[in-house]
Amino acid sequence: MAYSDGTEGEIIVPKKWYEKLPRPAWSGYEKVDQPDGWFEVYRLTETVYAIYEDGQFEEVISYLVLGEDRAALIDTGNGIGDIKALIDGLTELPVMVVNTHTHGDHIGGNHQFNEVAAYDSEFSREKAKRGQSKEQMGHYLDGDMVWKPFPPYFDRDSWSIRPFKVTQWLRDGDVVDLGGRELEIIHTPGHSPDSVCILDRVNRVFWTGDTFYPAPIYVYSPSTSLDEFIDSFSKMVRLLPIYDWVMPSHNEPRMEKHLIRECHEAAVSIRDGAAGPYKEGTAHGIKVHRYDYDRFSLIVRAERP
C-alpha cells in the first residue's frame, strides 16, 4: 500500500479496521520476545523473521532473512518504530536492506542502514533522493489509522519518510547472495514501477511485496499500471512450480499460493470489462472501482484508456 486516506470513506479504510486484530493467520507462528512494543516479531522458520507493524492501518510487514554470511532485511517499515535497534537485537550478521518497492510504508527505516539495495528506476531514484513528506503520506498517523500507543522515542510532528542512500541498484534477474542463500530479484511492476518479488528457489519462498497481499491491492494511483500488473502476474504464475511460501508485505505472513493465479485471472477480467460487480468511490481525488474477492480486493482507476 502507499496511499492511506481516512477521509474518503470505506473504499480504502474500513471503520474500526483494528477489530479484526489479532489476525488468526499469525497464531501458528512463534512470537519472539523483544523490548519494543511497536513491533510484533514472529519467527516463521529457523532463518526467516516477520516484523509486523499491526498498530497502523496498513499493517506493514518487513522480513529478516538470515544467510550464512549476512542477512537481508526485506523492507524497513514506516519509520515509526526504531527498526535498526530491533534488527540489532535479532542478529549479529551484517544486514543489507532489499526493498520490494519504494513506497513510504516500506522504506521508513532505510536511512538507518549502511547497505540498501533497490530496483533501479526513475521512481526509486526520486524516492531515495527526496523520501516522502508527512503531507505526502496523507492521513497515515491520523484518527483511527493508528490504535497502538506510539513508541516513547517517536516524535509525531517531525516524522517523515527520510531520504536514503542506495548502495546497490538492482535489475531483473539479479541475485543477492547472503552466503548459502540466494535471493533472486523478479521485476513485477504494476503497483509501482519499481515493484519486485524476491525468490528463494532453494527454500521455495516467494516474497511478493505489494504486488500481492490479502487486502485491497492498489492499482489506481497515477504511477500504477493495470496492464503491467497483469504482465507481472503472468510471470508470477509461470513461477508457481518453483515456490510454496508466498510472503506478502501487508496483513498476513503466508498466503495460499493458488491466490496468485486467482489474482491474475481477476485482473484480466477487470481489464476486459468482464468482472463482476464493483463498489465506486474516490481515493486521493481519483475515481476508483473496487472489486472484492474472497481473500483480496483490487482497486483500479474508474477511467482507464
Q: Does 54 bind Zn ion (CB under 5 A)?
A: no
Q: Does 40 bind Zn ion (CB under 5 A)?
A: no
Which region, judged by CB under 5 A, interacts with Zn ion, from 33-41, 151-159, 210-218, 234-242? 210-218
Q: Does 1 bind Zn ion (CB under 5 A)?
A: yes
Q: Does 105 bind Zn ion (CB under 5 A)?
A: yes
Q: Does 161 bind Zn ion (CB under 5 A)?
A: no
66 vs 137, beta carbon nearer Zn ion: 137
Residues 6+ apart with CB under 8 A from 278: 289, 290, 291
DSSP string, 178-219: -SS-EEEEEE--SSSTT-EEEEETTTTEEEEETTS-SSEEEE
Alpha-carbon distance of 150 to 158, in angstroms, equals 13
Which region, judged by CB under 5 A, interacts with Zn ion, from 25-33, 105-113, 237-245, 255-263? 105-113
Q: Does 210 bind Zn ion (CB under 5 A)?
A: yes
Angle subtended at Cα 103 by Cα 100 and Cα 104, rounded to the nearest 5 degrees:
120
Cα–Cα separations (whole angstroms), residue 288 to 95, 207, 294, 295: 39, 27, 20, 20
Shortest CB 221 distance to Zn ion, Å: 12
Yes or no: say if 157 and 46 are a contact pair by the CB < 8 Å rule.
no
Residue facing Zn ion at closest CB distance: 1
67 vs 216, beta carbon nearer Zn ion: 216
111 vs 191, beta carbon nearer Zn ion: 191
Which region, judged by CB under 5 A, interacts with Zn ion, from 32-40, 117-125, 158-166, 209-217? 209-217
Yes or no: say if 2 and 103 are a contact pair by the CB < 8 Å rule.
yes
Site for Zn ion, rule CB under 5 A: 1, 105, 210
